[in-house]
Amino acid sequence: MATASAAATRKVPLCIPDMGEEEIQAVAEVIRSGWLAHGPKNHEFEEAFSKALGVKHAVSLNSCASALFLAVHAPGIKGEVILPSFTFVASANAVVMGGAKCVLVDVDYDTCNINPAAVEAAITPRTEAIMAVHYAGQVADMEALARIAAKHKLLLIEDSAEAIGATQNGKKTGAWGIGCFSFYPTKNISTGEGGMFTTQDQALADKVRAIAGHGVASSTWAREKKEKPWLRAATFGGFNFRMSNMNAAIGAVQMKKLEPMNAARRRHAKQYNALLNKDLFDLPVERPGFQHVYQMYTVKAKGFDRTTFLAKLREQGIGATVHFDPPVHTQPYYAELGFGKLDLPVTTKLAANILTLPIYPQMTEDDVAYVAHAANKAASNL
């Protein structure tokens, strides 16, 4: 353990992206090539991603928010989409901005993931899709949700922003339905900013690729090989949701590191589980058959003031925080739409008690121990 003087200046941030010389070299090569926009590195990244997840098609985008929007917009969903309120607002925003209607339901306390029974109870003749949100690196119960979706002929969307590489009985997130991934710096792999859309459906992948590039079915890079590369015929109304060649170059390198980085996160979580006082915290639950990849390490406070606790940790250089408070149904925009009247007791309890402790691959055992001991002490003093 660190000495008292070292501890006074020690810093353990919430997250540090695992970037090195290989990523720097990859970006430098792209810059030297002169092809900075969407290009060959996108195809390399997409192929590595689809192979790793066991999906037929992956489309690189500028953000997970764009992927989520396209998951609603491209299939033409205009009815109800069932999703959890305990999520980042981007999930609900994609539904609303895609022209559909949110139906917010409760989650399970132990995993913080959408409750399949609550989903089935919320289905109406207007329901068109289920959006599962994999919380903090733990897969939602996709086997149950897939059965419900098949039974009611609903589209299944996965907000997989926090769960790259996580599995249920060996099947990875993004392979159950439409997958939407984030490469923000706090995620298990990062491109700085960026996202990915995955699907087994060739026609949907082609449509998403076109809509993400102003409605034009072929990319600039692909058209360079054509007799008339200047022809850009829009087959859909579209946007510019494309990922740059530079971001994709980083992603292609990061994919090579995904499994060892996820393994490191799991080791750190195991150490936290052993060190944290279970009388003070409810720890993460990994159900049988599920593999958690700990994009975040979250615990629930048991009987102490969370705000004071977080302040105590921050005084010691520990970047602890909260995900997610407020939940969607109490966000001002959604509350004004009437969602504030919803009774979601588990979501309300989680939002009041959830805590996120630092976790990232480069953490040392000493870092984890420092955070755990500081957390135990701060909680016990409260």
Q: Residue 46 in contact with residue 164, Cβ under 8 Å? A: no
HEC readout, 320-367? CECCCCCCHHHCHHHHHCCHHHCCCHHHHHHHHHEEEECCCCCCCHHH
In angstroms, the CA 54 to CA 164 distance is 12
Helix (H) and strand (E) counts for the chain? 14, 13
* Residue in this structure with the two tokens 């997970």, named with its chain if needed: 64
Q: How far apart are CA 186 and CA 272, in angstroms?
A: 19
Of 187, 207, 300, 312, the catalytic one is 187
Q: Can you read off the two tokens belonging to residue 34? A: 């002169």
Q: Is 172 a catalytic residue?
A: no
Burial of 181 (0-12, 13-18, 19+ CB in 10 A): buried
Please give the positions annotated as active site.
Answer: 187
